[in-house]
Structure 1
Amino acid sequence: MINSNIGWEISKNEFYSENAFSKIFDAVVHRTIINVMAIYKKHIRQIRHFIVCSMGILLLASSCSILPFGEVLFSNSESVSTQPTGTIFYDDFSSTTSGWDRSETDLGGADYMDGSYHILIDEKNTDYFSTLYRNYSDIGLQVDARRIDGPYDNNFGLICRYQDEKNFYAGMISSDGYFGIFKIENGEYKILGHDTMVFSELISAGDTGNRIKLDCYQDFLFLYVNDSLLDVQQDKTFGSGDVGLIAGSFEVSGVHIMFDNFYLTDITQTMNQEKQQ
């Protein structure tokens, strides 16, 4: 169903909100939704499409099906990462039935390929994500990720405390060395603690892979890259929710991100051990 009466406007905090100047659409079938949203990166305002797609769901005229990636663009030859303390779930994406979405739309897609998980973005200013359909309050997430193709001006990372398509936290980095802890609330993106994404030399820029870690513990969000702490922010908006992976484009489409070695950890156990030490 399409509703063309919903619009977005710039609110006082310079993010877009509902009921204003430009027509957009909501296309919802079960839990699939497309929305136009806004985000800041490097002092540039971007209007973004926001997509989540699950197996077997129709999205507009496109079907959510196994994504035809064509020829293998990347061979996963990396060894399995060391298991983090308190691991409660591990996925090396060798099985296509481990619970992640396998989908294709006009704007992008997500699927397993060659023992890893891939997200492609075929439209500019678009985020695509996949969740595991689980619920956690305090949880740690870790994944190895790298750019396979497309612009270096991208974003990718981890989701925690996902409520629905318009409400969740995300810890993301970019292939050109920027990071941010995001709160998406009622469809509005906000970078917690900063006006824009922040550059860090700790991030391996270019095509080199990065290990991303997001710990959601009580009211605190910890973002790590390559085992180094990038940022800590405090926020009380979401207390629990689903977990997932996210990738997106800005002014140039064609973003292709590969994920491997996904972990969920009992962060309460980890924090208690650190307190004892």
Structure 2
Amino acid sequence: MKKFIIEPEYDGYEIGTYLKETKGYSGRGLRNLEIYLNGKRVKNNSKKVRKLNRVLIKEKEKETGIKPMDIPIKVAYEDKNVLLIDKDPYIIVHPTQKKVDKTLANGVVNYFLKTTGKIMVPRFFNRLDMNTSGLIIVAKNSYAQSFLQEKGTVNKFYKAIVKGIVEKDEFLIDRPIGKVGDELRRRELTVEEGGQEAQTKIKVVKRFEEENLTLIEAELLTGRTHQIRAHMALEGYPLLGDELYGGEDKRAKRQMLHSYKTEFTDVETGKLITVEIDLPEDMKELLAKDK
């Protein structure tokens, strides 16, 4: 349940326009709300509001077919609007046609059931490949989901171990990538060929000369599938252990990629919150051997 007081500058706005422009609700999201203006149910989103009017929002309960399963969830941050999970590698985020259960989503539904007593929809703001570890944002309600998508700022940072010694300390990769046919692998394509704009900011954290490896930080400026994996491979530095992009190596059982830091706008205060987690054990152990 959300409560708002109409600010003077929005006097005369339609209630739907006000909620979309100031609170981040989408048109689709408005359809799942019960809206009350000064205690009376609003049935038409074109209803005009006046300054200092009281608005109360109730979300209609949305059903999910995802079954709760007792899968451990590592909570990195939580408030009443969002949940940030530290995902282990080797687990799929959301059910697919081939994998209908034992996913992170099943664990999240179970976590919500235990902590709230309700079966809640797991609204994933971002997803990670099965073998990628790290931070995933889950919105607890449609308002938080819409706010993060429409009004909020979300910055995502990764650490990765790549093959080769990256020479530049910092640089921007600006290369459109896309999928060719049904192939999973992303390639560099022009916009005319179906490529999508993709930008990744790279910073070298540490070079391991003897092992011919580099630990990098990657900040996503766009959010394309396999973006970091494809970009680093195109630059000649595939992620260690990434068989799909030429990084196969006996030292790693998976691509060495970890979402270690997320910055996002707090739904309630508008302030930027930073959540940072440590590297997973397999990456730490590999780097410790290379010292």
TM-score (norm 1): 0.27
Task: Pick the structure with more helix per residue.
Answer: 2
- Report which structure shows greater RCO (CA 8 Å, sep ≥6): 1
TM-score (norm 2): 0.26
Task: Pick the structure with more strand per residue.
Answer: 1
